[in-house]
Amino acid sequence: MAKRVSIEIGHGGTDPGAVRGKILEKDINLCVGTELKRQLERHGIEVLVNRVSDVSCKVSDFLAKARAFDPNAGISVHANAFDGKAKGFEVFRNTNAFKIVSNLLCADIEARVKSLGQTSRGIKDGNFLMSSLPCPTAYCELGFLDNPDDYKGFDTAEKQKAFAAAYAKGILDYFGMSWLPETSPASPASEASKAPETPKKILYRVVAGSFSERANAEARAKTLKAKGVDCFIAEYVS
Ligand SMILES: [Zn+2]
């Protein structure tokens, strides 16, 4: 049976989360969460997210849906802000009956994030909204957006997607599943194979003879031209 994961993509709509100038936590979370969903689904995992765009979400509505979804794991996707100096990844395990497995899930995610090159502040205790689900949870803060140095590690969609891939790998590790590498979308071969097939255009050609000697073909062309039929000689290999 397919594994199921609920993802809370933090904030959204009128709630920007942490803010530094034009940098809004809700935007980073949406990029990471959406990519995490895609990566997990690519591995046959069923995913429920609270939002797929920049909208406000009613937490209680999502939790009711997430509970009915009966997930094997719950992931919260957030970014941090503090005093401009704090840096690094931080992940919170729940401290309820799922504490031990929640710790395993957090440790698997943390290990994959560290291999991205991001430092970790460690696994901490913290019961946030997803902790009320009957499954282990990991509340992930990828880094501190108010620390310019830390923010460099996730200042583009590409880098944010790398965090999402690290989270996905950690979740797969926890489930005992293998990461399936993606074929590069930039490679011309895979692009060509993905391109939708355009219907072939049919052309109707009038053939007035095929000849093994070019001289005979020229003689036929001359006859046709004399009758006012425009024509040309095309060579082909039989
Ligand atoms: Zn947040």
Q: 143 near 80, Cβ under 8 Å? A: yes
Decide: 171 and 108 in contact? Cβ < 8 Å.
yes
Indicate the average pLDDT of the chain: 90
Residue 152 has pLDDT above 70, yes or no: yes
Distance (Å, whole) CA 164 – CA 36 = 5
Say how many Å lie between the CA of residue 101 and the centre of ligand 1: 23
User: What tokens appear for 14 in the block?
Assistant: 């009128």
Check the CA dihedral 31-156-181-73 and report its sign. Answer: negative
Q: Report the separation in Å between the CA atom of 46 and the middle of ligand 1, taken as the mean of its atom positions.
A: 24
Residue 189's Cβ-side half-sphere holds a number of Cα atoms within 13 Å equal to 2
The whole-number pLDDT of residue 61 equals 92
User: What pLDDT does residue 238 have?
Assistant: 54
Lowest mean pLDDT among 91-105, 108-122, 208-222: 208-222
Confidence (pTM): 0.77
State residue 215's pLDDT score.
83
Q: Strand pairing partners for 140? A: 77, 91
Say how many Å lie between the CA of residue 203 and the centre of ligand 1: 60
Output the CA 140–ligand 1 centroid distance in Å: 9
The pLDDT of residue 196 is 58
Distance from the alpha carbon of residue 132 to the mean position of ligand 1, in angstroms = 17
Closest CA to 49 of 32, 126, 147: 32
Distance from residue 17's CA to the centre of ligand 1 (Å): 5
| pLDDT for residue 189 | 53
Specify the DSSP class assigned to residue 218: H
Give the angle subtended at the CA of 187 by the CAs of 183 and 188, to the nearest 5°. Answer: 135
Asked whether residue 193 carries a pLDDT value surpassing 70, the answer given is no
Q: How far apart are CA 82 and CA 78, in angstroms?
A: 13
Q: For the segment 129-139, what is each residue's pLDDT rounded down to a tens digit? A: 899 999 999 99
State the architecture of 4-175 in CATH terms.
Answer: 3-Layer(aba) Sandwich (3.40)
Q: In the structure encoding, which two tokens stand for residue 98, read together?
A: 């799922």
CA of 79 to the centre of ligand 1 (A): 6
Residues 102 and 137: beta-carbon distance below 8 Å: yes
Q: Measured in angstroms, how far is the CA atom of residue 100 from the centroid of ligand 1?
A: 24
Q: What is the pLDDT of residues 22-66, one digit of tens each?
A: 999 999 999 999 999 999 999 999 999 999 999 999 888 999 999
Sequence ranges of the domains in the chain = 4-175, 203-238
End-to-end CA distance of the chain: 56
- One DSSP character per residue, 109-173 reads HHHHHHTTT--EEEEEE---GGGGSSS-EEEEEEEETTSHHHHGGGSSHHHHHHHHHHHHHHHHH
18 alpha carbon – ligand 1 mean position (Å): 6
Give the distance (Å) from ligand 1 centre to CA of residue 133: 19
Tokens read off for 143: 């880094």
Helix axes 157-175, 99-114, angle to 10 degrees: 140
